[in-house]
Structure 1
Amino acid sequence: MHVLGTRSREIGALHWSVAMLVWICFGGIAVGQQIVASRGDATVLIEPYAANVVRVSLSLRRNDALAGPGYGISAKAAGAGWVTESTEGGDALRSSRMVVTVAPAGRRGPESVAGVKGTQADIAKFFNGSTPGVRISIRTPEGASLLEMQGWQMSVPNHKDGNADILYDRRPKDAPFFQVGATFASPKDEHYYGLGQNQEGYLDRRGHVVRCAHDYNAPAGQSVCVPFLVTNKGYGIVWDNPSATTVSFGFNDVTRWTSDVGQRVSFFVIAGKTYDEIYAGYRLLTGDVPMLPKSAYGYIQCKQRYTSQEEVMAVARGYRARHLPIDDLVIDWFHYTKMGEMDMDPARWPDPIAMNEQLHAMNFHTMISVWPRFVPESRYYETVLKNGWFEALADGTPTNGLPYDRAGSDIDSTNPAAAKWFWGL
């Protein structure tokens, strides 16, 4: 038994050595339950967050590819139940729910790029871009395709592409600017839903282009994009890059994501047998959202705007006299003495405490519209300016909208210290 046990260990060690040799030859390294692979000048990271949630990150800059996710992701990587493997088909990471495979270097599909000849080879000399081919497939363990990344891009903004002007926005302390993006196969029967508040009048994104950003002047009304969508193919995707991003869905059987600025391509894929399971994956990544106060689920009355305490009380009495159901009244902007004062103008709102007591007695709740903007004459402007908490141009000048916009400068709520101060105030 002792001899057999020793022999088994020797054979096991041999198998391990061969497996590692195959793995290294294909350019992959297993680090815990993740893949770090080289494809030409690109570094590819495949990192699991749950049995059905995986992150893909790739960049020409190795440290950027291996860096953690960006704004809004609170979950930590979790590789329990995942195993790595390497075959002729590429480097793979497998769980009970997903199989993620990075194709071998030089392989963009069934054919090797090395086999391209003639005109296509001549075109490739000049116009194949700066990124080496990386192809990533995500499937179920049963073999059903969820998502196929066919290509990606990472280029310095330039005059040929017409995006060089964005380099003027780069501050000295900022990381280098690149335009980054990825291209995915889009089967003809795939449909896409989500991306937050976009008011163009259609639910299915297929055959449309969405500018994923906060656009106050969008043609159909203010657009507030959330870079998360679900599909009818059993997965959702979270685009992990805080930059204005253009997404074109299903044109020529391809879906393309392109961010104006980034240092890497990073996205999460969530597999789900139901939409609820996909949404649960999104919640895992971004954290739990507290339930709103009960009154917020009823009817909320808001207009632009109630100008005084007297007007609000008259409206409230009118609703109750007509026995109309309403739960919340919203006191919108310019209730303050100056933009950024965080007060209520006593000339128009002489006793807000008494007003709220009366409204509560009538079963009303109130909401207030808080604007994160400060005019130079306001009492907090110098504090925000001194601490560097304003959104600013490359030269440090606080942004304040268009030249005729005199509503003050915006606080940078992505700065943790600024956000904490503003919330407390």
Structure 2
Amino acid sequence: MRKKLLVLLLVLIVPLQAMVAAKSATVVAQGTVCNVTFYAPDIVRVVKYPQGAKGPSENSLVVTMAPLENMKVNITKQSGTTLLKSKKLTVAIDNATGIVSFYDGSQVLLKEKGTTFEERNSGPDKGAYRVTQVYELDGDEPIYGLGTLQDGKLNRRGTQKFMEQSNLEDFQYVVQSLKGWGIYWDNYSRADFKDDASGMSFSAEVGDASDYYFMYGGSADGVNALMRQLSGKVDMFPLWTYGFWQCRERYKTENELLEVVDWHRKNNVPLDGIIQDWQYWGSNYTWNAMDFIGEGFRHGQMMVDSVHRMNAHLMISIWANFGPYTKGYRQLDEKGLLFDFETWPQSGISHIWPPRMDYPSGVRVYDAYSKEARDIYWQNLKTLYDYGVDAWWMDSTDPDYFNSKDSDYDRMTGLGTWRRVRNAFPLCTVSGVYDNQRKESDDKRVFIMTRSAFAGQQRYGSGLWSGDVASTWDMLRKQIPAGLNYTMTGCPNFNTDIGGFFCGAYNRGRISAPQNPQYQELYVRWMQYGLFCPVFRSHGADAPREIYQFGKKGEPVFDAIESAIRLRYRLIPYLYSTAWQVTSSDESYLRALVYDFPNDRKVWNMTDEFMFGRNILAAPIVEPQYTAEEIIKDHKAVERCKAETDFNAGKTAEKYLPEGATWYDFWTEQKHKGGQSVRLETALDRVPMFVRAGSILPLAPVMQYAGERQWDNLEIIVYPGADATFTLYEDEGDNYNYEKGQYSTITFRWNDKAGKLSVGKRAGAFKGMLNKRTFNVRVVGKEHTKTVGYDGTKAVSVRF
């Protein structure tokens, strides 16, 4: 009986083993082991390493996905080639060379050109390799991604970049092609990216293998979805994060900070967040103490509570390093969990520039690669969490690293040498905060803004800002492709310091930057770009940036800034519903035009326009219209400029409308055919924006903060010319109950031929939900508005 049972078990087990094995094939060619494994029908892992070497680690910092079990892959060998074929993708391995090629049917998607390994013969990374992987691209094939590069380019063809995380540029090692494929290069060391006549290549300083994932999504959205399937979904940010955030470098007292919030409430200028930058902890010797111990911040709990009483939220600056007189420093130092390299701040004297190096700060970066160190970090941060601080501004997550020496890279971390894991630092440090806060409570969603990011960071409730960018028109222009390329790595949350961080060049004589017409124009246009970013945040050094620094109500600059803020709040139902699509359907806020119009060659490298969600074409003005771009340095000339500049004057601008859609000017509602440039009449208080025909746009009444009232009396604007669908998403606005299904959706459908808008029965429910409401429906081109009563229990419709 036992023998029969054993035979039966073997019969059952063997087919299962064969099925698992059939997802993978290995070829040894020219001394190199090549393994190809299907993780999904459209995701393939390729690993190559020298024969006899140990190969890669099975534990990835980025990849969280395991190969799918119920997946059929046919493996055959023919004519010197090993073929692996799923229902979506064919992979061919040349048995003689080990070259791997990827096909969609008979169409070549991508082909390797070669792989090289240069063994490291000394140091703690001895036995590992410098690894280079080269690919062949089509002659005019555009590629996108890599990260936030500040060179003003969208298409990465013909470019070269040494990739090491820094203040202004960050790298995710993800590229994607207009042909619908993407690659994630799974390596954490510094690396060179290059595209030239010899091919497109990644060359990592240290690795045990060439280890990458090929994804075939068929489109930019498809590649992003697969990258998130591979490395983690995007959390919902709280509703209040989508309002307006004000910051300055820095509020020097708790009263300064509270006065800003109080001013907004008294003057009815919407605000949801206030940010406290550094040194609320006191001196540089107590750097990042994560407590209100600085002079001017003696009533930290009172400050936090006061912000909350005014229906605002507080974000606070925290760093990846500690001063020598902090508890965190002592706890980490005792366990050998601090790095020795030079970081910011270099001097313990905070009020003298340049730094007094004869008074070294002693500040040291912590070993974020160690779980023990990350837990100690959170134990200190919990002081601020317990005060009720709402969000974390994680600065210097690159981290700052001055006067680097090659020997520094030999330093061991919790995951190997600094050389081996250098660029994954932001991923590790952000993960520690996210994981620990999720353990504390699910009542408040994690909201992190970080200066640096690595692939996979989207799963940690975090978004990236583009660092301490300069206040220039050129830098404003560069933020658009930087954010679009970052989005095309699968990470959707991007924002910049509105107005640029360093505005000191505009401070002239008695005129501060916010009173200098050159800076006023730049700030307004940056604000109008910023309202399309997931986080809408004003910040910078050298001069305060609050709206009242620029003038007063009734003056053109003040009114233009207020107009941008108010428009943001009108768009919040659209934006929050888009956020749900980002989380549930892997969509993106900032969409390079190649997402939606890949057949229009004119948009392949367009760097000044993009889609904001699926429906709105954002075309911000990024060239000065009222003042000169070159900064005036003579204070008398600035005085003359101030006297002569008329911000009430009308101007014009030319904008391109992508082919493949019909477009409505958001402001005038004039209809335009796509595939052409149009000249618009512009004003300082208007950002050029268009809505695609076949769109439904929900607009809210202007609120003083995002959660001031529920979404009753929404204006539902239909842009005819094609059928349209829009899903309005609502939940409690904070906490993680949405993960348990506690949310609702209402789907609007426009039948263009019938001229009918249908509002479907509400799906789902959540605590505190609005049961009855009114929608005010208007069709562009029609003068009247129709009021629709709605209780969610049944579908309703209205005809025009």
Q: Where on the TM-score scale, by shorter chain, does this alignment land: which range?
A: 0.7 to 0.9
Change over 3 Å in CA distance of 1:212–1:297 after alignment to 2: farther
For 2:420, the equivalent position in structure 1 comes to none
For 1:422, the equivalent position in structure 2 comes to 377
User: Across the two proteins, how many residue pairs are aligned to each other?
Assistant: 345
**Do 2:180 and 2:222's aligned partners in 1 also have CA atoms closer than 8 Å?**
no
**Do 2:272 and 2:311's aligned partners in 1 also have CA atoms closer than 8 Å?**
yes
Which residues of structure 1 form unaligned runs of 5+? 1-29, 108-133, 159-166, 217-221, 392-397
For 2:142, the equivalent position in structure 1 comes to 191
Once the two structures are superposed, the pairs formed by residues 233-252 of structure 1 within 5 Å of their partners are: 233-249=179-195, 251-252=196-197
**Do 1:59 and 1:65's aligned partners in 2 also have CA atoms closer than 8 Å?**
yes
**Do 1:194 and 1:230's aligned partners in 2 also have CA atoms closer than 8 Å?**
yes
For 1:357, the equivalent position in structure 2 comes to 305
1:294 corresponds to 2:294: no
Once the two structures are superposed, the pairs formed by residues 342-353 of structure 1 within 5 Å of their partners are: 342-345=290-293, 347-353=295-301
For 1:7, the equivalent position in structure 2 comes to none
TM superposition shift of 1:320: 2.9
1:276 corresponds to 2:221: yes
For 1:151, the equivalent position in structure 2 comes to 114
Mapped to 1, the partners of 2:127 and 2:334 lie a distance apart of: 26
Which consecutive aligned stretches of 4+ in structure 1 deviate over 6 angstroms post-superposition?
none
**Do 2:102 and 2:109's aligned partners in 1 also have CA atoms closer than 8 Å?**
yes
TM superposition shift of 1:226: 1.2
Change over 3 Å in CA distance of 1:297–1:64 after alignment to 2: farther
1:413 corresponds to 2:404: no
Deviations 1:358-399 (A, max 9, x none): 2222221110111121222222223212323224xxxxxx22
Change over 3 Å in CA distance of 1:300–1:211 after alignment to 2: farther
1:82 corresponds to 2:73: yes
Mapped to 2, the partners of 1:95 and 1:63 lie a distance apart of: 30
Q: Structure 1 residues 294-303 or 65-74, which shifts more?
A: 65-74
Question: Which amino acid counterpart does residue 262 of structure 1 have in structure 2?
Answer: G
Mapped to 2, the partners of 1:31 and 1:318 lie a distance apart of: 66
Mapped to 2, the partners of 1:64 and 1:301 lie a distance apart of: 52
Mapped to 2, the partners of 1:416 and 1:62 lie a distance apart of: 32
Deviations 1:297-341 (A, max 9, x none): 222222221111011012222333343222211111111131142
Q: CA RMSD in A?
A: 2.3
Mapped to 2, the partners of 1:61 and 1:214 lie a distance apart of: 32
Aligned residue for 1:369, secondary structure, equals strand
Change over 3 Å in CA distance of 1:68–1:304 after alignment to 2: same
Mapped to 1, the partners of 2:288 and 2:226 lie a distance apart of: 38
TM superposition shift of 1:63: 5.3
TM superposition shift of 1:180: 0.7
Mapped to 1, the partners of 2:218 and 2:174 lie a distance apart of: 17
Deviations 1:63-102 (A, max 9, x none): 5435425321111123622222111141222101111111
Task: State percent identity of aligned pairs.
Answer: 23
TM superposition shift of 1:175: 5.8
Aligned residue for 1:282, secondary structure, equals helix
* Aligned counterpart in structure 1 of residue 319 of structure 2, from 366, 371, 375: 371
For 1:139, the equivalent position in structure 2 comes to 103
Q: Structure 1 residues 355-364 or 255-264, which shifts more?
A: 355-364
Mapped to 2, the partners of 1:323 and 1:253 lie a distance apart of: 59
Q: Structure 1 residues 263-272 or 371-380, which shifts more?
A: 371-380
Deviations 1:170-211 (A, max 9, x none): 44xx56342111110011121111122222111111111133
Which residues of structure 2 form unaligned runs of 5+? 1-19, 347-356, 381-800
Aligned residue for 1:333, secondary structure, equals coil
Mapped to 2, the partners of 1:69 and 1:88 lie a distance apart of: 35
TM superposition shift of 1:281: 0.8
Mapped to 2, the partners of 1:62 and 1:240 lie a distance apart of: 21
Once the two structures are superposed, the pairs formed by residues 109-124 of structure 1 within 5 Å of their partners are: none
Mapped to 1, the partners of 2:324 and 2:60 lie a distance apart of: 32
Mapped to 1, the partners of 2:60 and 2:160 lie a distance apart of: 24
Question: Which amino acid counterpart does residue 36 of structure 1 have in structure 2?
Answer: T
For 2:34, the equivalent position in structure 1 comes to 44
**Do 2:215 and 2:223's aligned partners in 1 also have CA atoms closer than 8 Å?**
yes
TM superposition shift of 1:346: 5.1
Change over 3 Å in CA distance of 1:153–1:35 after alignment to 2: same
Once the two structures are superposed, the pairs formed by residues 122-271 of structure 1 within 5 Å of their partners are: 134-140=98-104, 142-156=105-119, 170-171=123-124, 174=125, 176-216=127-167, 222-249=168-195, 251-252=196-197, 254-271=199-216
Question: Which amino acid counterpart does residue 240 of structure 1 have in structure 2?
Answer: D
Mapped to 2, the partners of 1:332 and 1:104 lie a distance apart of: 58
Question: Which amino acid counterpart does residue 204 of structure 1 have in structure 2?
Answer: N
**Do 1:212 and 1:226's aligned partners in 2 also have CA atoms closer than 8 Å?**
no
* Aligned counterpart in structure 2 of residue 60 of structure 1, from 45, 50, 75: 50
1:318 corresponds to 2:281: no
TM normalised by structure 1 equals 0.75
**Do 2:184 and 2:213's aligned partners in 1 also have CA atoms closer than 8 Å?**
yes
Change over 3 Å in CA distance of 1:401–1:262 after alignment to 2: same
Change over 3 Å in CA distance of 1:62–1:267 after alignment to 2: farther
TM superposition shift of 1:263: 1.6
**Do 1:331 and 1:368's aligned partners in 2 also have CA atoms closer than 8 Å?**
yes
Mapped to 1, the partners of 2:373 and 2:51 lie a distance apart of: 30
Mapped to 2, the partners of 1:346 and 1:399 lie a distance apart of: 26
Mapped to 1, the partners of 2:362 and 2:257 lie a distance apart of: 24
TM superposition shift of 1:62: 4.7
